[in-house]
Amino acid sequence: MRGQHILGLEHMSPADIERVLTTAEEMKKMVGRQKNKKLSVLRGKAIVNVFFENSTRTRSSFELAGKYLGADVINIAASTSSVAKGESLRDTLLTVQAMGIDAIVMRHSAEGAAQYATRYVKAVVINAGDGAHEHPTQGLLDLLTIRQHHGEIAGKKVAIIGDILHSRVARSNVWGLLKMGAEVHLGGPKTLIPKEMVDMGVTIHHRVEDAIADADVVNVLRIQLERQKRGLFPTPREYARIFGINDERLKLAKKNVLVMHPGPMNRGLEISPDVAYGRFSAIEEQVNNGVAVRMAVLSLTLADEECA
């Protein structure tokens, strides 16, 4: 995978997905084993995180991953950069490229922004979320979390519930899960699930109870309040009552169900606090796996030698 851009899971082969997951498991072991977490796999490499949209976990997780691997990592946030002065995306990219960066990790509100970046830079481009399109490292860390709990992904029933329409996490999950042989069910209000998604090979339910019945995994997505247009969404109270994942509804899933949420959560809206912090929740583990998956992606695409 050396030199490969990571733009989405739609075009990533099952073999490459497998390689990332296995490498992430190795990374977890390596970092867990030693007191000094720092490895030298990417010593002498420079990575820049360019974030045009807000982020807590994804940005800090990429930063930590790069640092654990021994790379130099810098961060550019749109709100404090020359973007705020009107600099174009292309000029920002060319500026970064001119500094001799090896990888650009980019988040942007426009679909296709990461793909666009590959036209202007020689560095490896890693998509950290482009609009409602893809968020490949989130998809990969979700796959890793499922594999760790259930042993394998193939044959598992995964329900993805919530605001699918605006969610890049949903798209990356669907592509990744289908490639790894899972059965994918989407649940939520009609207005928040594009019906064309059946063409991807998923089943759509408008009663969340039907989507989560006998599920091995329930992945709850955030209602993206900042992206809602009028008429798509009932009141928050109505949403929680009809579509929210609470203890009662979760009883419909398998006994050892795994509950995931990419964060940030609207507690009490798409997920109740008892489920979010309950015994089936893998939400903190997802964050932990995020660092390992990003270490895997960075090392596989940037390291001069095979590292795991």
Closest C-alpha to 42, from 277, 299, 300: 299
Residue 157 in marked binding region: no
Let me know if 90 is a catalytic residue: no
CA distance linking residue 87 with residue 218, whole number of Å: 41
- CB of residue 292 vs ligand NCD: minimum separation in angstroms? 15
Q: Which residues have C-beta within 8 Å of that of residue 63, sequence separation ≥ 6?
A: 49, 73, 75
- Establish if 57 lies at the interface with ligand NCD (CB under 6 A): yes
The residue (of 108 and 179) whose beta carbon lies closer to ligand NCD is: 108
Task: Read off the tokens for 34.
Answer: 């030693």
Residue 57 in marked binding region: yes
Cis-peptide, bond into residue 264, ω within 30° of zero: yes
- Selected from 222, 253, 269, 300, the binder of ligand NCD by CB under 6 A is 222
| ∠ Cα 182 218 113 (to 5°) | 75
CA distance linking residue 66 with residue 230, whole number of Å: 40
The residue (of 144 and 307) whose beta carbon lies closer to ligand NCD is: 144
CA distance linking residue 267 with residue 279, whole number of Å: 16
287: which DSSP letter?
H
Task: Read off the tokens for 15.
Answer: 């073999």
- Which residue has tokens 């995994």? 217
CA distance linking residue 96 with residue 48, whole number of Å: 8
Residue 107 in marked binding region: yes
CA distance linking residue 147 with residue 152, whole number of Å: 5
CB 269 within 8 A of CB 240: yes
Please tell me which residue in 107, 133, 185, 249 is annotated as part of the active site.
Answer: 107
Helix (H, G, I), strand (E, B) or coil at 202: coil
- Establish if 262 lies at the interface with ligand NCD (CB under 6 A): yes
Let me know if 57 is a catalytic residue: yes
Q: In what order do the strands lie in the sheet with 157-161?
A: 203-205, 183-187, 157-161, 217-220, 258-260
Residue 187 in marked binding region: no
Restricting to residues 155-174, name those near ligand NCD by CB under 6 A. Answer: 168-169
Site string for ligand NCD, 96-135 (x = CB under 6 A): ---------------------------------x-----x
Let me know if 206 is a catalytic residue: no
- Establish if 244 lies at the interface with ligand NCD (CB under 6 A): no
- Establish if 219 lies at the interface with ligand NCD (CB under 6 A): no
Let me know if 85 is a catalytic residue: yes
- Establish if 8 lies at the interface with ligand NCD (CB under 6 A): no
The rounded radius of gyration (Å) of the Cα atoms in the chain is: 19
Let me know if 279 is a catalytic residue: no
- CB of residue 110 vs ligand NCD: minimum separation in angstroms? 14
Please tell me which residue in 23, 58, 145, 301 is annotated as part of the active site.
Answer: 58
Residue 230 in marked binding region: no
Please tell me which residue in 35, 85, 119, 255 is annotated as part of the active site.
Answer: 85
- Which residue has tokens 């592509």? 175
- Selected from 49, 58, 127, 289, the binder of ligand NCD by CB under 6 A is 58
Q: Which residues have C-beta within 8 Å of that of residue 60, sequence separation ≥ 6?
A: none
- Selected from 131, 194, 234, 263, the binder of ligand NCD by CB under 6 A is 263
Residues contributing to the site for ligand NCD (CB under 6 A): 57-58, 129, 135, 138, 168-169, 222, 224, 262-263
Binding residues for L-aspartate: 85, 168, 222
Q: Catalytic site residues?
A: 57-58, 85, 107, 135
| Binding-site residues from annotation | 57-58, 85, 107, 135, 138, 168, 222, 263-264
Binding residues for carbamoyl phosphate: 57-58, 107, 135, 138, 263-264
